[in-house]
Chain A
Amino acid sequence: EAQVTQNPRYLITVTGKKLTVTCSQNMNHEYMSWYRQDPGLGLRQIYYSMNVEVTDKGDVPEGYKVSRKEKRNFPLILESPSPNQTSLYFCASSYSQQITGELFFGEGSRLTVL
């Protein structure tokens, strides 16, 4: 089944404790992206990757890191989480953003930082 898989789905952590949210897609997509969703603010892009070893900042990259060492994986790293990073996070992928804008989303990772 074609899918984007995120883990963990739910996480409660404390300020400053490094964490990684994994994202994997099995559709051989070139493009991958991370979003955060907050009430009233819609979807805001954190980072995106057009292909392996190519990453770029989105609209709200502060406090986050990403890497794209393999085509299928695009982990999101919070080196020192803070309460303002409490949010619902989505990973998404697309065959190529230059051909179609259709994004396939994971089911989300709800993060709470205390």
Chain B
Amino acid sequence: QQQVKQSPQSLIVQKGGISIINCAYENTAFDYFPWYQQFPGKGPALLIAIRPDVSEKKEGRFTISFNKSAKQFSLHIMDSQPGDSATYFCAAFDSNYQLIWGAGTKLIIKP
């Protein structure tokens, strides 16, 4: 079965630090890799996404790094803030136009 493996399951980072969440996939046919952010009591919302023809995409404090040969991608949150505390999901878009989801990472930013 196609999978996207996400780690860590939970993460605590001090305010101002860098939060790093990693994902790995198996299927080389995946061609779109979004990250979703979910606040408590809310549905997930698209945060940032990348296609495999680029190695990095940055939007503000959020950066996706993509390593096609290793089949890994990661989310980096620079200068992490308490407002970034949320659950983060990575995902991959497969050839059947379906999203394959990671299990999620609960991020807590300590003030």
Q: Interface residues, chain A, CB within 8 Å of chain B? A: 4, 40-45, 48, 58, 90, 92, 97-98, 101-108
B41 touches which one: A43, A44, A107 (CB < 8 A)? A107
Instruction: Name the residue of chain B whose CB is nearest to the CB of A92.
Output: B43
Does A105 lie within 8 Å of B45, measured CB to CB? yes
B interface bracket (residues with beta carbon within 8 Å of A): 20 to 34
Query: Are A106 and B97 interface neighbours, CB within 8 A?
Result: no
A–B complex contacts, Cβ < 8 Å, 12 sampled: A42-B89, A43-B44, A43-B101, A97-B97, A101-B49, A101-B93, A103-B44, A103-B46, A105-B45, A107-B42, A108-B41, A108-B43
- Residues from chain A with a CB closer than 8 A to the CB of B97 are 97-98
Contacts of B32 in A (CB 8 A): 101
CA distance A102 to B36 in the complex (A): 9
Known interface pairs A58-B98, A101-B32; 7 further A-B residue pairs with C-beta atoms within 8 A, sorted by A's residue number? A43-B89, A98-B97, A101-B34, A103-B44, A104-B45, A105-B44, A107-B42
Q: Across the interface, which residues of B come within 8 angstroms of A107, CB to CB?
A: 41-43
Which of B44, B102, B103, B104 sits near A90, CB closer than 8 Å? Answer: B44
